Structure 1
Amino acid sequence: MKPLVVKLGGSTAYHVEMKSWIGAIAQAAMPLVVVPGGGPFADQVRNAQARMRFSDRAAHFMAILAMEQMGFALAEMHPRLVPARSLADMGSALSAGKIPVWLPYELCRGAGDIPESWDMTSDSLGAWLAGRIGARSLLLIKQTDACADSVEHLAERGIVDALLPDMLGGGTDLYIAGPRSLQDAAPTLAAGRIPGTRIPQSRNLTKGAA
């Protein structure tokens, strides 16, 4: 079965919903890989760049390392979650019934198809990873709910990053889950289904079922 990639937004870091989402993810019946957002660690990179004036390229890699810091924090929140740096690590974790939490620096460091700028957030890195591992779907967990709008329109509104429409492969379905989806997320994932709203990848909107 193709895995589901779940990007858990760093904006949830200091909210009570974080533990609830982790608990729901841990009950997933399908193979699943977690992509951590950068959260407060990435915020510190932004603050430091404003004062130290280092390049966006340096900030890009520092923000990816911020995702790794968040990943270590997430992996401690449930025994089923384990850190994973490589595709081999992910495969081993999935084979053991675990849920790998991606530590992205190793895979991203030499990737020529990843723009080195703030436009490339964990949203688009989740899409990039989904393409690499042949994921059937990408679920973005946000602090806001989304209607069945196009991914392009969501990017224009700032709900997803600007590069996501280009980074998301045509073979990967996109879902967004916000606070309204949390209540039923655990039984939904335990049943092998995806919580949230399916997002069309073009402006020709076709509503999908979660």
Structure 2
Amino acid sequence: MQPAIKGFPPYGISVVVKFGGSLMRDLEACRAALAELERLGRRGHRILIVPGGGIPDKAIEAVDATHPLAPFTAHHACALAQDQTAYMLSDPALSSDLVACSTLGQCRFRLREGKIPVLLPSQILFALDPVEWSWDVTSDAVAAWIAWLTNTPKLAILTDVDGVYRNASTGDPTALIAESSADELGRLGHTSIDACAAHFMSQHGLSGVVLNGAHPHRLGDWLEGKQVTGTRITSTPHIISAPQTALGAA
């Protein structure tokens, strides 16, 4: 986290967590993962959640598979799908400390209250239009961009597998890549982290981890510097730094 510049206070986020929509297939496991995030928040970790598209996104993909949608339609519908997932994750049915936030200013305010903001990304994405309108760009890349935009030092991708596997061999524990540079992951193409996110992390000096959200304690262990089952992503610091911005001021 970069030091504050006079007149531009930091957002104060310690970790951006991309919460994969795949984790909503088992709602009890989803609740357990969210409960762990709440526990970490109460222990002082300042978490910002960027949701995946989840169930709504799958419906959009199903339509596109048989009746290909225009890039404009697919992009905007998928961004709104992330919003819908955010609302569900922050509902009392699944969590107690999570709050859906449409601006970064709201996120900052909720963090000060001791809550965990869940970003509704569509408003920021529509206003700034930072990513290509393509199926190649997923919520992983959006989470990486948000981490860079807010000068957050850590990015965790929570998904439904243990990490990134060689040749996509998710059933073979020996194929799990324990550590890789972001650049190397980008060259692998789309895995359990999309290639656009990996390339972005490489270019902007972001590091992080891909973890299985079904084992939520691994996130806390990683934040404490312990060895965990997952894929640690390293990146060489780059001269491109995130802008200090008043975007989303409350």
State the TM-score bracket (shorter-chain normalisation): 0.7 to 0.9
Aligned partner of 1:161 in structure 2 is 194
Change (3 A) 1:2 1:83: closer
Greater Cα offset, 173-182 or 28-37 = 173-182
- How many angstroms apart in 2 are the aligned matches of 1:180 and 1:13? 10
Query: Is residue 3–residue 134 contact of structure 1 (8 Å, CA) maintained in 2?
Result: no
**Aligned runs of 1:186-197 on 2, under 5 Å?**
188=221, 193=224, 196-197=230-231
1:17 aligned residue (15, 23, 29) = 29
Report SS of the residue matched to 1:27. helix
What letter corresponds to residue 210 of structure 2 in structure 1?
I
1:72 aligned residue (66, 87, 90) = 87
TM-score (norm 1): 0.85
Q: Does 1:85 pair with 2:102?
A: yes
TM-score (norm 2): 0.72
Q: Which has the larger radius of gyration?
A: 2
2:118 aligned residue (95, 101, 115) = 101
**Aligned runs of 1:1-210 on 2, under 5 Å?**
1-15=12-26, 16-28=28-40, 29-76=44-91, 77-146=94-163, 147-155=178-186, 156=188, 158-168=191-201, 170-178=204-212, 181-185=215-219, 188=221, 193=224, 196-201=230-235
What letter corresponds to residue 150 of structure 1 in structure 2?
S
Q: How much has 1:56 moved relative to structure 2?
A: 2.0
Unaligned runs of 5+ in 2: 1-11, 164-177, 237-250
Q: How much has 1:80 moved relative to structure 2?
A: 0.7
- How many angstroms apart in 1 are the aligned matches of 2:123 and 2:37? 24
What letter corresponds to residue 161 of structure 1 in structure 2?
D
Q: How much has 1:47 moved relative to structure 2?
A: 1.5
> Aligned pair count?
199
Q: CA RMSD in A?
A: 2.3
Report SS of the residue matched to 1:117. coil
Q: How much has 1:6 moved relative to structure 2?
A: 0.3
Query: Is residue 99–residue 115 contact of structure 2 (8 Å, CA) maintained in 1?
Result: yes
- How many angstroms apart in 2 are the aligned matches of 1:167 and 1:154? 11
Query: Is residue 136–residue 171 contact of structure 1 (8 Å, CA) maintained in 2?
Result: no
- How many angstroms apart in 1 are the aligned matches of 2:213 and 2:86? 21
Q: How much has 1:151 moved relative to structure 2?
A: 3.1
What letter corresponds to residue 165 of structure 1 in structure 2?
A
What letter corresponds to residue 142 of structure 1 in structure 2?
T
- How many angstroms apart in 2 are the aligned matches of 1:10 and 1:46? 13
Q: Deviations over 1:134-181 (max 9, x none)?
A: 111100001111221333444526221120123225343211111574
What letter corresponds to residue 94 of structure 1 in structure 2?
L
Aligned partner of 2:246 in structure 1 is none
Report SS of the residue matched to 2:56. helix
Q: Percent identity?
A: 25
- How many angstroms apart in 1 are the aligned matches of 2:232 and 2:155? 10
Unaligned runs of 5+ in 1: 203-210
Q: Deviations over 1:163-205 (max 9, x none)?
A: 012322534321111157434546x48xx63775421237xxx
- How many angstroms apart in 1 are the aligned matches of 2:160 and 2:68? 30
Query: Is residue 139–residue 175 contact of structure 1 (8 Å, CA) maintained in 2?
Result: yes
- How many angstroms apart in 1 are the aligned matches of 2:32 and 2:231? 19
